[in-house]
Structure 1
């Protein structure tokens, strides 16, 4: 049985949490709040973030030779998502999930 590197496992867990949090918040809290919460640019970055986290998980699970630059991109998108979420009410869970994921991905990208 091959063991997953602990840093990679931690990053995959952070990516999973971010993926679920962004999707949940976008499709529930943001759509219910309307206004700026449901603005196209905000909804798009949240969808991008969730999708990129899922992609990063897949690349790490495969131990792809490309996982480092995928994780670097994931961190960048997570930070952008955190920044837009920080400006809106009730988005603290998303901000924290994105920042945790960005930090974990930056570790993997190093």
Structure 2
């Protein structure tokens, strides 16, 4: 097992938390609410966010240097997703998880 720094461990945790939050919010809250919660652009962004978070966590866990690239992209998508969830409204848990993950991933990408 490669050495995982405390910062990387925190980023993995933030990525996995954001993955779970985006996926469960989309599949539960958004599908139940309908309307702007299920607009294709919003829904696809949430799915993309969940997937890049999962991928970034995976790359850090396996210890590949490529995590810098996935984390850079993850930070960008998480920021977009946070803004969009804020626009849609009534999605504060998702907004918070995305912002936290974006911040962690920016540090890992640096």
TM-score by length of 1: 0.96
Q: Is the Cα contact below 8 Å between 2:81 and 2:98 reproduced in 1?
A: yes
1:21 matched to which residue of 2? 21
Q: Is 1:47 equivalent to 2:47 in the alignment?
A: yes
1:67 matched to which residue of 2? 67
2:79 matched to which residue of 1? 79
Q: Which runs of 5+ in 1 are unaligned?
A: none
The root-mean-square deviation of aligned C-alpha atoms, in Å, is: 1.0
1:57 matched to which residue of 2? 57
1:9 matched to which residue of 2? 9
Q: Which runs of 5+ in 2 are unaligned?
A: none
Offset of residue 2 of structure 1: 4.8
Deviations 1:13-45 (CA, angstroms, capped at 9, x unpaired) = 000000000001000110111000011111000
Q: Is the Cα contact below 8 Å between 2:56 and 2:67 reproduced in 1?
A: yes
Offset of residue 89 of structure 1: 2.5
Pick closer, same or farther for the CA change 1:24–1:42 going to 2, 3 Å.
Answer: same
TM-score by length of 2: 0.96
Q: Secondary structure in 2 aligned to 1:64?
A: coil
Q: Is the Cα contact below 8 Å between 2:2 and 2:63 reproduced in 1?
A: no
Aligned length: 110
2:103 matched to which residue of 1? 103
